[in-house]
Amino acid sequence: MNVGIIGIGTVGKEVLSIISCQRVKIEKLLGEEIKIIKICNRTFREEFKNYSFTFDYKEILEDDSIDTIIELMGGKDIPLEIAKKTLLSKKNLITANKELLAIHGNELFQLAKKNGVKIFFEAAVGGGIPILSPLKESLFPNKLKKIRGILNGTANYILTQMSNGSSYERALIDATKKGYAETDPTFDVDGIDTAHKISLLSYLAWGELKEFTEIKINGITKLSTEDIRKAATNNQKYKLLGEAVIDEKTEKITLSIKPTLVGKDDLFYEVNGIYNAVEIEGSYTGKTIFYGEGAGGSTTANAVVSDLYKIINSRSWQI
């Protein structure tokens, strides 16, 4: 497998590290050697010196010896160009970019299908929680009914701090100091990141990617300390939940993202801090719950590397 990686930041550098540290085991499982043909980053760092390096992502796109491109730079416009050119040149794509896929997924999934290549994106939802593969490859015999998730660690951290008595502003400053919140946390606190993720879960469950602009999204910024205190007196907590439900009769899928009260009898009540959880309800399996760290370099990189396995061993998810 000949791989090119674009974006060697928090996740990308951990991908290189995992492949280097676990190479023998991974290659045995894949049944193939993994060659990192070239890596690309905006700035050069000392740790890249053992790799063939470029500042120009186009060099990776145009390299005919590369069959799989891993995009880990984030953002929207250049990743869209990268994704399209990757698929058009019949290379497989692995990405952690939920924004890209939630907005341009329909076009990209079609393009992958047309060009006979694969897109995998395990790291885009739930960070290190392996949720997409079980949903697509293990739970599929079910008639899936509902998915709900705490899908954003920053928002969950802020809500947890608020339920411990902090104000929203203090909790956000604290999250930023600890590196949990981006410099611009809008996507996290406004529920947009959660919407990207529930949208992708819904796509894998029912094969339809909703038009992103049609999704109703409510974040956590309007919750007051008084709301949180009142909830606590009723043994409840607010959680920013993304939900996807299918109507059994009409098969209409509804997505919603909003702060939701959960009681002590709900396992989500104990999902605190930066942790994420996803619950999938199926006709045969009932409710299954997946819980773990929703972000972080090494945990997310683990998901990216698992996609290398799927490129070789799984059928395309866009059937």
Ligand X SMILES: NC(=O)c1ccc[n+]([C@@H]2O[C@H](COP(=O)([O-])OP(=O)(O)OC[C@H]3O[C@@H](n4cnc5c(N)ncnc54)[C@H](OP(=O)(O)O)[C@@H]3O)[C@@H](O)[C@H]2O)c1
Catalytically active residues are 197
Alpha helices in 213-254 (DSSP H): 225-233
The DSSP letter of residue 269 is G
Write down the least CB distance from residue 32 to ligand X, Å: 24
Residue of the chain from 3, 36, 39, 41 that contacts ligand X (CB under 6 A)? 41
Residues 112-131 that bind ligand X (CB under 6 A): 123, 127
Q: Which residues, other chains included, contact 260 with Cβ-Cβ below 8 Å and sequence gap of 6+?
A: 238, 239, 240, 241, 243
CB atoms within 10 A of CB 172: 23
Q: How many residues bind ligand X (CB under 6 A)?
A: 23
Closer to ligand X at the Cβ: 73 or 277? 73
Q: Which of 42, 58, 143, 216 binds ligand X (CB under 6 A)?
A: 42
Q: Is 5 in the site for ligand X (CB under 6 A)?
A: no
Binding mask 56-95 for ligand X (x = CB under 6 A): -x--------------xxx---x-----------------
Closer to ligand X by CB, 87 or 96: give it: 96
Give 262 or 301: the residue with its C-beta nearer to ligand X. Answer: 301
d(CA 130, CA 51): 29
**Residue 110: count of CB within 10 angstroms of its CB:** 12
Member of 3, 117, 296, 317 binding ligand X (CB under 6 A): 296
Residue 195 touches ligand X, criterion: CB under 6 A? no
Residues 149-178 that bind ligand X (CB under 6 A): none
| Cα 145 from Cα 109, distance rounded (Å) | 24
Beta bridge pairs of residue 260? 239
Q: Per-residue string for binding with ligand X, 209-228, x by CB under 6 A? A: --------------------
Instruction: Give the integer Cα–Cα distance in Å for 34 and 124.
Output: 22
Complex with ligand X: residue 39 or 111, whichever CB lies closer = 39
Backbone angles phi, psi at 154, to 5 degrees: -65, -50
At closest approach, how far in Å is the CB of 72 from ligand X?
4
The string of DSSP codes covering 126-178 is: STTS--HHIIIIISTTS-EEEEEEE--HHHHHHHHHHHTT--HHHHHHHHHHT
Distance CA 156, CA 256 (A): 17
- Whether the CB-CB separation of 255 and 199 falls below 8 Å is answered with yes
Residue 126 identity (one-letter amino acid): G
**Would you tell me the crossing angle of helices 297-313 and 10-21 to the nearest 10 degrees?**
60
Q: How far is the CB of 78 from ligand X (least distance, A)?
A: 5
* Nearer of residues 139 and 295 to ligand X, judged by Cβ: 295
Segment near ligand X (CB under 6 A); pick from 1-9, 159-167, 183-191, 213-221: 1-9
Q: Give min distance, CB of 291 to ligand X, in A.
A: 16
Nearer to ligand X, 257 or 295 (CB): 295
Give the range of 111-119, 163-171, 218-226, 294-302 binding ligand X by CB under 6 A: 294-302
Query: Which CB atom, from 127 or from 219, has the smaller least distance to ligand X?
Result: 127
> Which of 16, 36, 37, 40: binder of ligand X (CB under 6 A)?
40
E-strand stretches of 163-266: 216-217, 236-246, 253-263
**Binding to ligand X by residue 300, rule CB under 6 A?**
yes
Contacting positions for ligand X (CB under 6 A): 6-12, 40-43, 57, 72-74, 78, 96-97, 123, 127, 295-296, 300
